[in-house]
Structure 1
Amino acid sequence: MNYILISPYYPGNFQSFAHRLKDAGVNVLGIGEEPYDQLGSELQNALTEYYRVNNLENVDEVKRAVAFLFYKHGPIDRIESNNEYWLELDAQLREQFNVYGNKTNDLKKVKYKSEMKKLFKKADVPVVDGRIVKTKKELSKAIDELGLPVIAKPDNGVGSAATFKLSSEEAVRHFEEEWGEAQVYFLEPYVEGGVLCTFDGLVDQKGNIVFQTSFTYNVPTLELVKGQLDLAYVIQKEIDPKLETYGKAIVKAFGMKERFFHIEFFKIETGDYVALEYNNRLAGGYTIDMYNFAYSIDLFAQYASLVTGGEFKESDAENQFCVGVTQRDAYEYKHDTNAIYERFGDRVKFEQRMPDAFAELQGNQFYAINADSHEEVDDIIRFVHERKNSSIANV
């Protein structure tokens, strides 16, 4: 099997895809921007061949790279990055070279917020009604119909980038100046008091869910970025049955195969859920590592098994919580890395400086710490986030 991995070097924790694919007997071929020497010996050894391009944004250049690898190694069986930023590039390449997986037309339902809403409704999952706006006149009409506050997101956008919370007429005017009708936006009512949570997992080649999990944020991502707040999110030991029912219905409606998925919800005050977004890829940052720590599993290896026609093997170990918690360089905290290890010992599974690309959203120093109970989860978050000036601590 010939598997082209787009951007095998970045992000660093995704390099394990190359290692596990090779372990499964796959011929792994890399295309990326980094010089070969920068890859390091472990990644170099996992790749049968690496083709460096000057710019992955240059589709023609990347197509020439694929054509070369096709000529040298034979037909390509998979082209994948597992990275949201390159989903459209992946799809274009699959279409050009007739490779298994999502093509450009398949991405419409997972790239456009407005299209997602249609499938959420088809799955009979609660949503908040939204409006597409292309002009300031349409924006004004949408706000009249929906009322303030609303969330304004690019209809085709990645994560929380270029997202605005419009709570006042002044905020609307500011958004109009920033926007300038340069792209299509999607407006939906702001869900007051909603707790951001997810239904995540992996589907096999038949579209069956073989792995599922859920995590919950301490604050929504928009507030997290705007206020530069302290982040904590928690991989859950168990999934709320109602959330599981909604999540499975959505996965069925979207009909994806051999892919990770990451579906965002708000849990509202009534205890029900509102579907927000379907992401046709892994959650970002170190979340896949946290899945592995919480469930004593190696999802990189399990993914490689699925790709090669094998089965998914669940762990026999008991599930745990895994807390992803960060500190920001801008603040002074009471407890540094040494103190955190001293307090939590071998429950600290991972600590790492965050890449600059994730730091504004998530913070600068990341810890993944396992816990057995909600009380332990709360203790971890309090301890790591406690600041020297406790009156400004944000837990």
Structure 2
Amino acid sequence: MNYVLISPYYPQNFQRFSIELAKQGITVLGIGQEPYEQLDQPLKEALTEYFRVDDLENLDEVKRAVAFLFYKHGPIDRIESHNEYWLELDAALRDQFNVFGPKTEELTKTKFKSQMKAYFKKAAVPVVPGQVVKQKTEVAKAVKTLGLPLIAKPDNGVGAAATYKLTHQADVETFVQDWDESTAYFLEKFVSSDKVCTYDGLVDAEGKVVFATSLIYKEPPMVTLKNKSDFTYYITKEVEPKLAAYGQKIVEAFGMKERFFHIEFFCDKDDYVAIEYNNRPAGAFALDVYNFAHSINLFEQYARLVAGHGFEPSAYASQYSLAVTRRDYRHYHFSEEEILTRYSQELKAKLRMPAAFAALQGDSFYVLNSDTEEDILDMMEAIQRLAQD
């Protein structure tokens, strides 16, 4: 089997995809921008061949790279990056070379928030009313139909970027003034819940969920982005039954196969409201945090699925796992040395955030485990407590 990995070097923790795929006897072929000499030695050993391109944004150049690898190694069976930024590139390459996985047409249901909403409704999962606007002249009518407060975000966009909260008419006027109409916007009713959770996991080649977990954000990502606060979430021991039921229905409705998913929900009293379906794992070090929480190696388990060897569940009990960041320029109540000493038994990893994520999420990243949610919340508060508190 020939597996083409787009950007195998970055992000660094995703190098483990190449390593685990190679361990399963799969021929791993990398395409990236970094010079071969820059690659870490374990990655070099995992790659049968690495083709350097000048610009991964140049579709024609990347197509030529895949064509060369096809010519030299035979038919390509998979093309993946597992990275939000390259999902459209992955799909375009699958179109060109007729490779298993979501094609460009299929990707529209996970790219456009308006289409996601339709699939959530198909799955009979709660959603909030929303409407697409493509021109400024359509905004007033949408606001009148939906009513304030609203959230306005690009219909085709990633995360909380370029998002507006429309509480008053003045906010609407600011949005209209700022918006250049180059991209359609999706307006939806604002949900007052300050709790966002997820249903995350992995499906096999038949679309069956073989692994599922859930994380709870300390605050909605949009708030973290706006306030530049420390990025924090924790993995729960088990997925709450109603959330699991909704998540299963959504996964079935979207019909994706042999890939990770990351579905966000508002936790609204005793119910959940679907927000967004992401056709890849959660970003940064989330896969590593899942691994710590559930004593599993998901990079390996994904590789086993691709190789046709089946998924092996963990034999160990799950724990709560806290993922928390701190920013270099902030002064905290406890020094890092004090934190590392105080939680030496709970600490699983201390990492530096990649530059692409640090500005939004923080600089230092800590992962800690515990058997109780109470301990997790106490550690969260202590690690992020500022010096003046």
TM-score of the pair, normalised by structure 1: 0.97
Deviates more, 1:141-150 or 1:316-325: 141-150
C-alpha displacement of 1:194:
3.8
Aligned to 2:9: 9
Instruction: State whether residues 201 and 209 of structure 1, in contact with CA within 8 Å, keep that contact through their aligned partners in structure 2.
Output: yes
Between the aligned partners of 1:36 and 1:382, the Cα distance in structure 2 is 43
Say whether residues 1:106 and 2:102 are aligned partners: no
Instruction: State whether residues 221 and 361 of structure 1, in contact with CA within 8 Å, keep that contact through their aligned partners in structure 2.
Output: no
Instruction: State whether residues 198 and 264 of structure 1, in contact with CA within 8 Å, keep that contact through their aligned partners in structure 2.
Output: yes
In structure 2, what residue type is equivalent to 1:176? V
Say whether residues 1:174 and 2:167 are aligned partners: no
Say whether residues 1:376 and 2:375 are aligned partners: yes
**Deviation by residue 1:73-93 (Cα, 9 ceiling, x = unmatched):** 111110000111111110110
Aligned to 2:297: 298
Instruction: State whether residues 323 and 369 of structure 1, in contact with CA within 8 Å, keep that contact through their aligned partners in structure 2.
Output: yes
In structure 1, what residue type is equivalent to 2:328? D
Between the aligned partners of 1:161 and 1:77, the Cα distance in structure 2 is 34
In structure 2, what residue type is equivalent to 1:341? L
Between the aligned partners of 1:172 and 1:329, the Cα distance in structure 2 is 36
Aligned to 1:393: none
Instruction: State whether residues 225 and 360 of structure 1, in contact with CA within 8 Å, keep that contact through their aligned partners in structure 2.
Output: no
Secondary structure at the aligned position of 1:48 is classed as: strand
Secondary structure at the aligned position of 1:274 is classed as: strand
In structure 2, what residue type is equivalent to 1:251? V
Aligned to 2:228: 228
Unaligned runs of 5+ in 1: 391-395
Say whether residues 1:25 and 2:25 are aligned partners: yes
C-alpha displacement of 1:174:
2.1
Aligned to 2:311: 312
Instruction: State whether residues 198 and 216 of structure 2, in contact with CA within 8 Å, keep that contact through their aligned partners in structure 1.
Output: yes
TM-score of the pair, normalised by structure 2: 0.98
**Deviation by residue 1:130-182 (Cα, 9 ceiling, x = unmatched):** 00001111111111111222111111111112111122222222222321111
- Count of residues paired in the alignment: 389
Deviates more, 1:209-218 or 1:334-343: 334-343
Instruction: State whether residues 194 and 219 of structure 2, in contact with CA within 8 Å, keep that contact through their aligned partners in structure 1.
Output: no
> 1:49-88 residue pairs with structure 2 within 5 A?
49-88=49-88
Instruction: State whether residues 230 and 363 of structure 1, in contact with CA within 8 Å, keep that contact through their aligned partners in structure 2.
Output: yes
In structure 1, what residue type is equivalent to 2:172? V
Between the aligned partners of 1:18 and 1:144, the Cα distance in structure 2 is 51
Secondary structure at the aligned position of 1:151 is classed as: strand
In structure 2, what residue type is equivalent to 1:291? Y
Between the aligned partners of 1:340 and 1:71, the Cα distance in structure 2 is 54
Aligned to 1:143: 143
> 1:193-208 residue pairs with structure 2 within 5 A?
193-208=193-208
Aligned to 2:185: 185
In structure 2, what residue type is equivalent to 1:246? Y
Aligned to 2:120: 120
C-alpha displacement of 1:119:
0.8
Between the aligned partners of 2:383 and 2:249, the Cα distance in structure 1 is 37
Unaligned runs of 5+ in 2: none
Deviates more, 1:27-36 or 1:225-234: 225-234
Aligned to 2:90: 90
C-alpha displacement of 1:64:
0.3
Aligned sequence identity (%):
56
C-alpha displacement of 1:339:
1.4
In structure 2, what residue type is equivalent to 1:329? D
**Deviation by residue 1:1-24 (Cα, 9 ceiling, x = unmatched):** 110000001111101000000111
